[in-house]
């Protein structure tokens, strides 16, 4: 199984009352590079830890957390069925005969919605404004709606991730010709997953969908921009196979 993003994995651990412990090894050739583990609030090892630190792969930790969720899900099925209200015509249980109807089983809970990827729509503008603001970019809903119209016209409609009817993720995509490349250059910007939806592999799903779109366009290289302060996002991109190749400069035009 491929490794999940560490920022999403850390949130999933917090949701379980656990803490994601990351290896301090920064050299890729070292044995513990990229390893993680789980500890409880008191710092006691729970999974993927030894006396020297983390030993597990992110994918193994994700599987462990999913198994805990599955156990809780199974436990939720052990709910007693509500008893029917007795009337004067209904004999007490002790007097019931052999032809009494069997007790109904409790209804099974509805399965949790699975993340889905689709093209953004104008009706998503308000939610997308919230996600973009979460990244630190100031923009209003009117501007987002206008940008969606322009991008659709250019054939570069952003991708969104949904859980049920709620939009929980956004991935901007583009493919353009540049003078110094022999093929179209793909670009992902921005990429954001709502804080409450992190830990479900949604960021990975958005990147996979973006890369598939770019392959169809004929792109041979994908670039991602990420703020210098977002260290956890940088770790996620590295786990997705991206490498740091340059420093980005920007200037506001007036």
For 197, the token pair is 């939806």
Give the total residue count for the chain.
254
Dihedral angle computed from the Cα positions of residues 51, 52, 53 and 58, in that order, rounded to the nearest 10 degrees: -100
Q: Domains, the chain, ranges and CATH?
A: 6-75 (no CATH), 115-239 (3.40.630.30)
Model confidence, pTM: 0.56
Q: What was the pLDDT predicted at 82? A: 45
Q: What was the pLDDT predicted at 229? A: 67
Percentage helix, strand, coil, to 5, in the chain?
Answer: 35, 20, 45
Nearest C-alpha neighbor of 184 from the set 156, 149, 152: 156
Q: What are the 10-residue block averages of pLDDT along the chain, 254 residues in total?
A: 68 84 84 86 86 86 79 48 50 53 76 90 96 91 97 97 94 96 95 91 95 96 81 80 83 88
């Amino acid at each position: 199984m491929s490794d999940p993003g560490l920022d999403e994995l850390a949130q999933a651990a917090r949701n379980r009352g656990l803490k994601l412990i990351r290896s301090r090894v920064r050299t890729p050739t070292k044995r513990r590079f990229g390893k993680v583990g789980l500890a409880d609030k008191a710092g006691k090892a729970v999974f993927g830890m030894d006396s020297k630190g983390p030993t597990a792969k992110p994918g193994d930790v994700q599987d462990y957390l999913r198994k805990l969720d599955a156990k809780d899900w199974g436990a939720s099925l052990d709910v007693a069925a509500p008893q029917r209200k007795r009337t004067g015509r209904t004999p007490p249980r002790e007097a019931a005969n052999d032809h009494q109807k069997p007790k109904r089983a409790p209804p099974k809970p509805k399965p949790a919605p699975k993340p889905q990827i689709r093209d953004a729509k104008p009706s998503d503008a308000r939610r997308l404004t919230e996600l973009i603001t979460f990244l630190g970019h100031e923009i209003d809903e009117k501007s987002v709606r206008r940008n969606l119209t322009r991008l659709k016209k250019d054939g570069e409609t952003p991708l969104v991730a949904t859980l049920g009817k709620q939009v929980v993720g956004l991935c901007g995509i583009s493919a353009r010709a540049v003078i110094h490349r022999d093929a179209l250059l793909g670009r992902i910007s921005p990429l954001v997953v709502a804080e409450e939806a992190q830990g479900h592999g949604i960021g990975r799903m958005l990147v996979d969908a973006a890369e598939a779109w770019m392959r169809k366009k004929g792109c041979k290289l994908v670039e991602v921009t990420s703020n210098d302060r977002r260290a956890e996002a940088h770790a996620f991109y590295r786990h997705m196979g991206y490498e740091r190749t340059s420093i980005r400069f920007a200037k506001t035009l007036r």
